Amino acid sequence: MELQVKDNGADSWEEVMIIYNAALKEIYTKLEILNDEFQHVHKYNPIEHIKYRVKTPRSIVKKLKRHGYESTLENMVKYCNDIAGIRIICDYTSDIYRIADMISNQSDIKVVAIKDYIANPKPSGYESYHMIVLIPVYLSDRIVDARVEIQIRTIAMDFWASLEHKIQYKFPGEVPQHIQEQLLENAQMVSQLDAKMMALNEEIRKIAGEEGEENE
């Protein structure tokens, strides 16, 4: 049963926050286990680090208003898919799809939406891989499925996105055209850098593998 609530005061708000925080903890633990197992099998960690957060009430209300919804607890759960968010940072673009596959293959995680902004970047140049998933949270009297947004990106993509976010905050109306153009140009450079670094890593792994075979 997917999480559903009715507005009836602070108790409901606190319970909803407990559920979202529990969902984040569950996914975080899964990712740590997958990363450890990957290191054991392949001698390599695809995940560099993980960040997670629950949206603040102010951000939730702002988003609901922007989409024309009344600021109620019920609307929050129904229309906000990113209240609980987790961001996975990795080294290479190939890791992004590898991690996405590992998440999708978890039997108790249901993927409900995917937005691939790497294959199809936003007009601003933004690149990232987004997933909306449902994960079961086991309470004392019931099981509820909570929605979590997962973002997967490289270190370079995350650096660019962080800079863009700060710029958007400084220009709440519209970012000046020349800054938008520079951001787009830098995003294209980030994409090229990611491609070059991934190719270099593959070449190094190939050489190391060949040398390892020769020394056997």
For residue 160 the two structure tokens come to 């660019």
Q: Which of 111, 61, 50 is nearest to 85 (CA)?
A: 50
Residue carrying the six token digits 């799809």: 97
Spell out the alpha helix ranges (H) of the chain: 10-42, 57-66, 73-79, 93-104, 155-170, 177-214
Q: Is 43 exposed, middle or buried (0-12, 13-18, 19+ CB in 10 A)?
A: exposed
Q: Which of 33, 28, 76 is nearest to 52 (CA)?
A: 28
Contact between 20 and 82 under an 8 Å Cβ cutoff? The reply is no
How many C-beta atoms surround the C-beta of residue 213 within 10 A? 8
For the annotated catalytic residues, the residue numbers are 149
DSSP string, 131-147: EEEEEEEE-SS-EEEEE
